[in-house]
């Protein structure tokens, strides 16, 4: 069993080496994709395997089959979108988080993860000069951030009219107006639809 386990763990060494190679060549590598959609599909579209393979083989195949289809979004030369650019310490911490495989939803699920989240929230409030009593949430990205912020705003705005979303839902609720500018992110529209407010509620300033 120990030999099999060690063989499986070699995938971690392989992934770490590939990651180092990727980062070390980031500033010389093309920023855009160098293969087209047809090529990527021809490599990756295959029948679902019926026989397993080693973990290291999975890593190797993933690297080989996606070659040329990755953007250089972690490079300092990438200006297309606001993505990428993680520093090595953040990347290493992300590896540890995935390795520990904790559930930070509750203290009982992972005491350390819960306290780390508390501290991160306190630091952000201090950095942004927000009241210590302010609530916070760490989201997975832009879409969920808009969902969370707009949900909180929806609750508060309707509460001021005497309407409780938690108890009364949205049917018959007073209309809500959402002020945006022309450069708003597309995830705002989607969040408004998911939250039952509707994209027609937006007013462009």
Q: Distance between alpha carbon 8 and the CA centroid of its chain, in Å?
A: 27
pLDDT digits over 169-190, tens only?
Answer: 999 999 999 999 999 999 999 9
For residue 150, the model assigns a pLDDT of 96
Percent of the chain with pLDDT strictly greater than 70: 99
Q: In the chain, where are the structural domains located?
A: 2-97, 104-138, 142-204
Average pLDDT, the chain: 92
For residue 96, the model assigns a pLDDT of 94
Is the distance from CB of 54 to CB of 12 less than 8 angstroms?
Answer: no
pLDDT of 1 strictly over 70: no
Six-digit token pair at 167? Answer: 């108890």
For residue 155, the model assigns a pLDDT of 96
For residue 120, the model assigns a pLDDT of 94
- State phi, psi for 203 to the nearest 5 degrees: -125, 120
Contacts of 160 (CB under 8 A, 6+ apart): none
- Other CB atoms within 10 A of residue 43 CB: 16
For residue 121, the model assigns a pLDDT of 95
**Bridge partners, residue 202, by sequence:** 178
What pTM, to 2 d.p., does this model score? 0.75
CATH class entry, domain 2-97: mainly alpha
Number of residues in the chain: 205
Percent of the chain with pLDDT strictly greater than 90: 77
pLDDT digits over 79-123, tens only?
Answer: 888 787 788 899 999 999 999 999 888 899 999 999 999 999 999
pLDDT digits over 154-172, tens only?
Answer: 999 999 999 999 999 999 9
Average pLDDT over every residue of 29-57: 93
């Amino acid at each position: 069993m120990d030999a099999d386990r060690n063989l499986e763990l070699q995938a971690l060494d392989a992934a770490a080496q590939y990651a180092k190679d990727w980062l070390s060549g980031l500033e010389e590598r093309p920023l855009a994709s160098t293969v087209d959609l047809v090529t990527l599909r021809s490599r990756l579209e295959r029948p679902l395997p019926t026989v397993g393979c080693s973990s290291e083989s999975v890593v190797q195949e993933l690297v080989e089959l996606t070659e040329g289809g990755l953007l250089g979004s972690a490079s300092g030369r990438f200006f297309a979108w606001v993505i990428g650019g993680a520093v090595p310490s953040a990347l290493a911490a992300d590896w540890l988080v995935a390795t520990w495989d904790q559930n930070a939803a509750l203290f009982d699920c992972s005491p350390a993860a819960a306290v780390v989240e508390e501290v991160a929230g306190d630091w952000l409030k201090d950095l942004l000069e927000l009241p210590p009593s302010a609530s916070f949430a760490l989201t997975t990205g832009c879409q969920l951030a808009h969902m969370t912020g707009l949900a909180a705003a929806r609750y508060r705005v309707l509460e001021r009219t005497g309407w409780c979303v938690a108890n009364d839902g949205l049917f018959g609720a007073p209309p809500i107006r959402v002020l945006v500018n022309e450069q708003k992110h597309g995830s705002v529209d989607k969040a408004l639809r998911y939250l039952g407010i509707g994209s027609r509620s937006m007013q462009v300033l």
